[in-house]
Amino acid sequence: MAKIIDGKLVSTKIKDAVKIKATEFEQKFGRKISLAVVLVGNNPASKVYVGNKVKACEYVGFNSIECLMDENSTEEQVKEKVLELAFNPEIDGILVQLPLPNGIDKNTILNLIPAEKDVDGFLAENVGSLLLGEECTISCTPYGVMKLLEHESIDLCGKNAVVVGRSNIVGKPMAALLLNANCTVTVCHSKTKDIGAVCSQADILVAAVGIPKFVKGDMVKDGAVVIDVGINRVEGKLVGDVDFESVEKKASFITPVPGGVGPMTIAMLMENTCACAYRRAQK
């Protein structure tokens, strides 16, 4: 039976470390670290995510600025808001909650965020630096996965890693991080042939597909480390992209849903905001 990796525990440790750095920041620079979250419209899932981010800010001692905008806001209005935050020297991080309502172009808005305040690590400048192996802000979810692997002292060097999913915010940066950590990386997607055979070669298997229980026990090698990024709502319950029951019998480590990668994403957002604040303040 696999060891269950406790994302709640690891995320709390990370937030506690951020809390100390946030107090030191305030003593040194005379103000709190500030994270601005822009939420446009009434998407219920987005509201829950923003609520969790605000709670995490309170926990670590950041100032959180919630910019709630009407569902019918124009692209011009959202641009104005993001630019105002971009030019405000007391704002350390800007997060635009996705998805944006129809009619507002995601890239137009995200590209207004200066790279030094891009706490999500979504901008080309940060993604490019990640590929080059340079210091940068790393997308929170894959960064959180790396912290979980590190916490369990899982040796990555020379291991076969398979990432299922190639999105810009999870799959691709995840593959880059594993490659930078000396894994041999394969990325699967919807056009991959015989995905079960590819997955069964993995020492490290990361599922970020968005399909409930996509990865089954027969796709997993004995002793593999299985990380479930998926968050799917099925009949009111949260379900991952991994069939936990069949996979935990074969894996050496597994993350649960909920309580695995989810809390890590928010903890890494706090860590990224703190790092952005220090970088700007020390310039």
Residues classed as catalytic: 53, 97, 120
User: Interaction with ligand NDP in 57-86: which residues (CB under 6 A)?
Assistant: none
Q: How far is the CB of 70 from ligand NDP (least distance, A)?
A: 26
Q: Would you give the binding string for ligand NDP spanning residues 145-184, x where CB under 6 A is met?
A: -------------------xxxx-xxx-------------
Nearest to ligand NDP by Cβ — which residue? 167
| The one segment of 15-23, 118-126, 189-197, 215-223 that binds ligand NDP by CB under 6 A | 189-197
Cβ partners under 8 Å of residue 115, min gap 6: 123, 125, 126, 137
In the list 2, 78, 188, 198, the residue contacting ligand NDP (rule: CB under 6 A) is 188
Q: Which residues, numbered 94-153, are part of the site for ligand NDP (CB under 6 A)? A: 141
Q: Give the x/- contact pattern for ligand NDP in 191-220, rule: CB under 6 A.
A: xx--x------------xxxx---------
**255 binds ligand NDP, rule: CB under 6 A:** no
Under rule CB under 6 A, residue 262 binds ligand NDP: yes
* # of chain residues touching ligand NDP (CB under 6 A): 26
DSSP string across the chain: -PEEP-HHHHHHHHHHHHHHHHHHHHHHHSS--EEEEEEES--HHHHHHHHHHHHHHHHHT-EEEEEEE-TT--HHHHHHHHHHHHH-TT--EEEEPSSPPTTS-HHHHHTTS-GGGBTT--SHHHHHHHHTT-S-PPPHHHHHHHHHHHHTT---TT-EEEEE---TTTHHHHHHHHHHTT-EEEEE-TT-SSHHHHHTT-SEEEE--SSTT-B-GGGS-TT-EEEE---EEETTEEE-SB-HHHHTTT-SEE--SSSSHHHHHHHHHHHHHHHHHHHHHT-
Q: Is 88 a binder of ligand NDP (CB under 6 A)?
A: no
CB 144 within 8 A of CB 267: yes
Q: How far is the CB of 116 from ligand NDP (least distance, A)?
A: 23
Q: How far is the CB of 214 from ligand NDP (least distance, A)?
A: 7
Residue 230 interacts with ligand NDP (CB under 6 A): yes or no: yes
Please identify, using beta-carbon distances, which residue of 22 and 175 lies nearer to ligand NDP: 175
Determine if 7 is a binding residue for ligand NDP (CB under 6 A).
Answer: no
The residues binding ligand NDP (CB under 6 A) are: 141, 164-167, 169-171, 188-192, 195, 208-211, 229-232, 241, 261-262, 265
